[in-house]
Amino acid sequence: MVQLDNRPGAGADVATGSDAPGGVRSKGLNSNSIGLLGNAVIGVSTVAPVYCLTTTLGTTVAAVGLQMPALFLAGFLPMLLVAFAYRELNKAIPDSGTSFTWTVKAFGPKIGWMCGWGLVIATIIVLSNLAGVATEYLYLLLGEITRSDSVTALNDNKLVHVVTCLALIAIATMISYRGMTATKGVQYALVGLQLVVLGLFGVMAIVKATGHGAAGSLHFSWSWFNPFAASSFTAFVAGLSLSLFMYWGWDASLSANEETGGSEKTPGRAAMLAMVVLVGSYLFTAVAVQMYAGVGTTGTGLGNPETSSNVLAVLAGPVMGPALGVLLFVAVLSSASASLQTTFIPVSRTVLAMSVYEALPSSFTEVNERYKTPGRAIITAGVGTGAFYTVMTMVSSHVLADTIAALTLMICFYYSLTAFACAWYFRGDFRNSVRDAVLKVVFPLIGGLTLAAIFSKSLVDMIDPSYGSGSSVFGVGSVFVVGAGLLALGLVVMAVMTRRSPAFFRGEVLTRETPALVIPD
């Protein structure tokens, strides 16, 4: 075996087989099973662009009006800066634990554990919401095909809805269990379908808006890209929080690093490629729908509160006609379904890494011998998602909506910690070169500070009962209660694990020192 110096800034290959100095360990995953394109598809698929657009277009307009495109662009910028942090950390420590492992290496076990908790909880929330959206569009699509309102109405039957959701979660869990290569072709097809249909929809919307026009249609204006034209700072932050949600998930490309060829460089490049595809599709669609529908509060206007949670379903027929409009329903369903499957990647790999490093029970270290996947972690994530969605749905639709609204806190929490970890880990490289100073320290620090500021402002705003669904607990907004409560639950679980696994929390398993990775001769 050859010892490689892996001081911050010194490139190194991932350890394979034996454990490496510094605590970095091999997980037994299926190495070299995907390449650059496959990894980028995972990133785009996990984000689910068509699903994000249909659920966020209206709510963003409600917050910032005509400045929706500006907020989509503003949300991209901190995510891009954080993506640089992920890329640089992955070069030095290509570990499937990503944010968890990197923050432990930079700040120690307790901060690292909470960072991993933030990622896991965010993913469970998104998985449950994806299943709900997939179920809704399944019945919408069946209703369109059969021309039957009674079929569409099945989604409103709570028992039918929940049972269908659980079935979709079970299918996604099974597919994820069988590994990424088993569904590579399906993912290519689903992501390709999303982007093609989205492009066709955008073109047809612009043509109709500039042709004979539609009720509420607007002429394009560059002022739409001015974020400072938002009505207030609170409105700006609310819109920015929504746009951050639209980019969440690209880091799944990094979670698959131990299964990607060229693990120290390819995942970072794939994440950047996914980000470019996402921002391009978001800005094009935002401009197209705003030109066609406008921001009015009635009819097909994007500001209509009755349709804001499902914009594309309302615009499919008017923009594309009854025949082609069905394609948009198919695109949203495929978007949610594809993301439901790939979103298991980051949560299962993070849980696997946390258990390998003794931060979670050792039972989660189980890797299926045939498929080389973290089987127990995947199944547990599936069961947890199903239980979470069922309980939230049965308790109250308002609670479920507020849980999704609180997702911004989780996203900002673990992304900002990862960005800060990069800046701290590579602080010694600041004077090496302009490239190292900017990409390893300055960009990640700015991205982390931006997300930390959004986290703090959102946390304060969420105390107001009018935030989210408008429900409250003892006068405190339920979004705050849910978000802060889930983070506080992490502290409780960590306290339990501190007693069960003291070695990890003493820093004896995954050390803060810079690792020297090991590769075969």
Q: Would you give the DSSP letter of residue 214? A: -
* Mean pLDDT of all residues in 328-352: 90
What's the per-residue H, E or C state across 9-31?
CCCCCCCCCCCCCCCCCCCCCCC
Q: What is the pTM of this model?
A: 0.86
- 5 in any annotated domain: no
Q: Give the three-class secondary structure for 201.
A: helix
Which residue has better confidence, 147 or 199? Answer: 199
How many folded domains does the chain comprise? 1
The tens digit of pLDDT for each residue in 356-371 reads 999 999 999 988 888 8
Place of tokens 């400072």: 228
Please determine, for residue 183, whether its predicted confidence score (pLDDT) is greater than 70. no
Q: What is the pLDDT of residue 23?
A: 58
* Whole-number average pLDDT of the chain: 86
The whole-number pLDDT of residue 186 equals 77
pLDDT tens profile 58-73: 889 988 999 999 999 9
Residue 519 included in any domain? no
- Please report, rounded to a whole number, the percentage of residues in the chain having pLDDT higher than 70: 91
Which of 344, 45, 38, 30 shows the shortest CA–CA distance to 173? 344
Percent of the chain with pLDDT over 90: 47
- Provide the residue type at 424 as one letter: W
> What mean pLDDT comes out for the span 229-255?
86
Contacts of 14 (CB under 8 A, 6+ apart): 94, 95, 257, 258, 263, 264, 517, 519
Q: What is the mean pLDDT of residues 169-174?
A: 92
Q: Is the pLDDT of residue 3 over 50?
A: no
Q: Does a structural domain hold residue 11?
A: no
The residue written with tokens 């207030």 in the block is 232
Spatial CA neighbour of 87 closest among 271, 299, 247? 271
pLDDT at 400: 66
Res. 444: pLDDT tops 50: yes
Q: pLDDT tens digits, residue range 91-126?
A: 989 899 999 999 999 999 999 999 999 999 999 888
CA 69, 275, 343, 423 dihedral sign is negative
Q: What is the pLDDT of residue 255?
A: 87
DSSP 506: T
pLDDT digits (tens, 9 = 90+) for 484-499: 999 999 999 999 999 9
Range of the domain at 377: 37-506
**pLDDT tens digits for range 34-53:** 889 888 998 999 998 998 89
Query: Is 520 within the bounds of a domain?
Result: no
**Least confident among 277-291, 308-322, 435-449:** 308-322
For the segment 351-355, the average pLDDT, to the nearest whole number, is 94
Q: Is residue 214 part of a domain?
A: yes
Per-residue model confidence (pLDDT) at position 239: 83
| Residue 15 domain-assigned (yes or no) | no
pLDDT at 410 over 50: yes
- Stretch 409-417: mean pLDDT, rounded? 93
pLDDT of res. 474: 82
For the ranges 115-124, 201-210, 468-477, the lowest mean pLDDT is seen at: 468-477
* C-alpha–C-alpha distance, residues 205 and 13, integer Å: 48
Alpha-carbon Rg of the chain, whole angstroms? 22
pLDDT over threshold 70, residue 447: yes
Q: CATH number for the domain including 162?
A: 1.20.1740.10
CB 84 within 8 A of CB 439: yes
Q: Which residues have C-beta within 8 Å of that of residue 460, sequence separation ≥ 6?
A: none
What backbone phi and psi angles, to 5 degrees, belong to 67? -80, 15
What pLDDT score does 25 carry?
A: 74
Asked if 447 and 82 count as a contact pair (C-beta separation under 8 A), the reply is: yes
Alpha-carbon distance of 228 to 225, in angstroms, equals 9
* Residue 476, strand partner residues: 473
Q: Is 476 helix (H, G, I), strand (E, B) or coil?
A: strand
**pLDDT over 90 at 350, yes or no:** yes
| Residue that the structure tokens 């599709």 belong to | 281
Query: What stretches of 261-369 adopt beta strand conformation (E)?
Result: none
Which residue, chain included where needed, has tokens 């607990």? 473
**For residues 300 and 314, is the Cβ–Cβ distance under 8 A?**
yes
Q: Is residue 14 part of a domain?
A: no
